[in-house]
């Protein structure tokens, strides 16, 4: 008996990548062909906002999160100023925090209350 789940998983990944591509292409088209002309015609200056539709699937988010975790254990962290890219990728507002500050703010092992030292 032949299993087809491997092929189905591959097709699902390809479909997911094309969906992400389509969403990004649509957002770029919307910005360049709708937002920018509208703002220019109405006398607004500056860059048009980016339109973001969707992002990574939960499975892909897990892979990216594990990659960030592995990089962090090797001492590699996202660069300051990339919060918006992370927010766009995950769909949740993200911020970058210094890992040494996180370690300093961890509760004590005794009770979990930092004041019980």
pLDDT at 95: 79
pLDDT at 1: 45
Q: How many residues does the chain have?
A: 117
Half-sphere exposure of 27 (CA within 13 A, CB side): 14
Angle 93-100-96 (CA atoms, 0-180°, nearest 5)? 15
Interval 3-37: pLDDT, tens: 556 666 666 666 777 777 888 888 889 999 999 99
Residue 76 near residue 82, CB atoms below 8 Å: no
pLDDT at 59: 77
Residue whose token pair is 């607004």: 44
């Amino acid at each position: 008996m032949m299993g087809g789940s491997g092929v189905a998983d591959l097709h699902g990944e390809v479909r997911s990548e094309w969906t992400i591509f389509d969403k990004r292409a649509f957002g770029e088209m919307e910005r360049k062909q709708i937002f920018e002309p509208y703002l220019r015609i109405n006398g607004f200056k500056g860059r048009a906002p980016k339109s973001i539709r969707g992002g990574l699937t939960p499975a892909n988010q897990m892979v990216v999160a594990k990659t960030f975790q592995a990089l962090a254990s090797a001492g590699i962290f996202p660069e300051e100023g990339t919060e918006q890219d992370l927010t766009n990728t995950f769909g949740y507002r993200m911020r970058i925090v210094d890992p040494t500050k996180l370690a300093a703010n961890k509760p004590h092992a005794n009770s979990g209350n930092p004041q019980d030292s």
